[in-house]
Amino acid sequence: MMNSCSRPAGRLRVGLVALVCALAFPVPHGARAAAAFPLTVRDALGRQVTIPSPPRRITSVAPSVTEILFALGLGDNIVGISDADDYPAAGLRGKTRVGGVILNVERILALRPDLVIGVAGLQQGQLERLIRLGLPVLAVEARSLEETFAQISLLGRVTGRGAAAGRLLGGLRARVAAVERRVRGRAPPRVYVEIWGEPLQTAGAGTFIDDLVRRAGGRNLMADLHGWPQVAPEAVVRRDPEVILLTYAGRQRVAARVGWAGVAAVRRSRIYELDPDLVSRPGPRLVDGLERIARLLHREAFSLP
């Protein structure tokens, strides 16, 4: 005898029974994910890219992409990584390295990837070469925390890990909100960020670091500049930063610079070294960088329970 989900009936009855059956016997998560494919998205090169099914063999040619893929639980699906990849260290063992600034195309082809993911701004020429060879390529780009979150969401969608991306983003957004609550209403210290010391290179508007400093309750003294400009030592002294953040190991050298003894950050010993990966890679660890900067700028706010 047929069950209630298959018994013939009139159109209305069939519709009602179908709804009841859908609620009583929900489609498994994997089946729902599969139903979303083929999926067409616009990538950072402005191309319409169609992903026929969740990729099983992914080559990531950017450390930030690799970190996101691991955070989404896709470590076993990654067959190729860039020479610059270093996190998560344990997960990278045994992965094939496919080059850095210049990609090893032959090695990538040998891996038979069903998706290659790279960064448009840094690797456009290399990615376009792979596209001409017929490889399935997705280009991504992010210049702020929000754009990084959008990138995580995109990678979740194209890999069939949308639910995992949602959970990851929920946790990251909660941590960002917690930082912003802690620093809200506090006077923003004047911050100078130094990317390199010979010559002096800083972070201006349109960079991850500028975004993180602002969210952490600081005022980037070089926000009137754009990108990663060089600046004169006299310009830094004249703007008198209260906090100096370095993305390299050089605290003692900065403190000893001729003519910098009167700078507020030097007088108060508020020169700090940051892990550059936490403030420059558009991945989940940017929030680690945000928390670190906020604690350095507003120590009193984070000493509270």
Measured between alpha carbons, how far is 59 from 65 in angstroms, rounded to an integer?
10
Measured between alpha carbons, how far is 70 from 61 in angstroms, rounded to an integer?
14
Question: What is the arithmetic mean of pLDDT over 203-211?
Answer: 95
Q: Binning pLDDT at 50, 70 and 90, where does residue 241 land?
A: very high
Measured between alpha carbons, how far is 202 from 236 in angstroms, rounded to an integer?
10
Global pTM value: 0.86
CA dihedral 131, 79, 148, 33 (to 10 degrees): 90
Strand order across the beta sheet in which 137-140 lies: 96-97, 78-81, 58-60, 115-119, 137-140
Q: Which of 24-28, 96-100, 169-173, 271-275 has the lowest mean pLDDT?
A: 24-28
Q: Report the mean per-residue pLDDT for the chain.
A: 90
Measured between alpha carbons, how far is 167 from 20 in angstroms, rounded to an integer?
29
Q: Binning pLDDT at 50, 70 and 90, where does residue 36 land?
A: confident
Measured between alpha carbons, how far is 242 from 297 in angstroms, rounded to an integer?
9
Gyration radius of the chain over CA positions: 24
Q: Give all strands (DSSP E) within 19-147, no chain letters.
A: 39-42, 48-51, 58-60, 78-81, 96-97, 115-119, 137-140
pLDDT tens for 133-189 read 999 999 999 999 999 999 999 999 999 999 999 999 999 999 999 999 999 999 999
Full set of structural domains in the chain with CATH: 1-27 (no CATH), 36-172 (3.40.50.1980), 185-302 (3.40.50.1980)
Q: Which pLDDT score is estimated for 179?
A: 97
- The CA angle 119-84-104, to the nearest 5 degrees, is 75
Which tokens is 288 given? 């680690």
pLDDT tens for 1-26 read 333 333 334 433 333 333 333 333 34
Q: Binning pLDDT at 50, 70 and 90, where does residue 27 land?
A: very low
| pLDDT for 270 beyond 60 | yes
User: Which residues partner with 20 through β-bridges?
Assistant: none
Q: Binning pLDDT at 50, 70 and 90, where does residue 35 land?
A: low
Pairwise pLDDT comparison (85 vs 22), residue with the higher score: 85
Q: Are 3 and 24 in contact (CB under 8 A)?
A: no
Which tokens is 147 given? 């754009």
* Backbone phi, psi, residue 185, to 5°: 85, -5
CB contact set of 153 (below 8 Å; sequence gap of 6+): 162, 165, 166, 169
Neighbours of 235 (CB within 10 A): 14
Measured between alpha carbons, how far is 5 from 18 in angstroms, rounded to an integer?
7
